Amino acid sequence: MATANLIPRIGLGTFRLKGQEVIDSVSSALELGYRHIDTAQAYENETEVGQAIRQSGVPRDEIFLTTKVWYDRLESDDLIRSLEESLDRLGVDHVDLALIHWPSPNGEVPMGETIGALNEAREKGLTKHIGVSNFTMAHLDEALGVPGGEHLVTNQIEVHPYLANRRVVEHCQASGLQVTGYMPLAVGKVMKDPLLQEIADAHGATPAQVALAWVAGRDIVVIPSSTKPEHQHANLAALELELSDDEIARIDKLDAGERIADPEWAPRWDE
């Protein structure tokens, strides 16, 4: 399963962005050169994301568009219906990547049924690629072992300097999957970190750029959320920042297992 370079290295995350705010955010990102946009059914902004894409003037085939199926739509026929509804809201005939947003709570819907339906969506042309999000190593192994699992290309998980998520990242990569890291800026916490500020000063950069460079340097796709064009531009530039081995080692020590996304329906996480 060759997934290297399949997903653009940086994308725009749209979690928590609604209405005109998400339209403006996606519009400015596409104008700046972003070609990877990440949304989800649960974000309730697919309609606005689709509107911004259409208004951008950027050809649809140049944009890598991701959406995610919510955990209450994982039964086979319902999963297909939910993706068809997403396409209607987005105003597109397919997405580039469809993810299972969260594993079925308590395994209520069998993994084989969900992955089978997700792969059927791929075969129907509703999505070019399929993947998962917030899957533990056990969930991932189960998903890869059922029919259709061989087509999974990514696991989107929380990764930032305070949650390196090393075991899961390495397990995904060893299994041939690309890792997509969400919340790479730890919802703004990186901006106040003295160590990241010190390293940023040495590079004429910002702490946010240092954090993104650290995550991306681990061969992880980053999808920071940003509404300000200047921040979006800086995030793009972060991919060009090269950290020294010593700087990377110092940032590595910030890992404290601090998880931000941990709702009641979350699985039992790998430590």
Per-residue pLDDT reduced to its tens digit, 126-151: 999 999 999 999 999 999 999 999 99
Summarize pLDDT for 233-268 with one digit per residue, the tens.
999 999 999 999 999 999 999 999 999 999 999 999
pLDDT of 195-204, one tens digit each? Answer: 999 999 999 9
Question: Three-state SS for 42?
Answer: helix
Decide if 38 contacts 66 (C-beta within 8 A). Answer: yes
**Cα(42)–Cα(67) distance, integer angstroms:** 9
- Spatial separation of the C-alpha atoms in residues 67 and 85, rounded to whole Å: 11
Residue for token pair 């920042």? 241
Q: Is 13 helix (H, G, I), strand (E, B) or coil?
A: strand
Extract the tokens encoding 211: 């954090």
Which residue in the list 43, 71, 162, 182 is annotated as catalytic? 43
The second-level CATH assignment, the architecture, of 12-185 is Alpha-Beta Barrel (3.20)
Q: What is the DSSP string of 245-261?
A: HHHHHHHHTT-----S-
In the chain, which residue ranges form alpha helices assigned H by DSSP? 19-32, 46-56, 76-90, 111-123, 137-144, 166-174, 194-203, 207-216, 229-237, 245-252
Q: Is 71 a catalytic residue?
A: no
pTM of the model: 0.97
- Other beta carbons within 10 angstroms of residue 218's beta carbon come to 18
C-alpha 33/C-alpha 138 separation (Å) is: 37
The shares of helix, strand and coil residues in the chain, as percent rounded to the nearest 5, are 50, 15, 35
pLDDT the model gives residue 4? 59
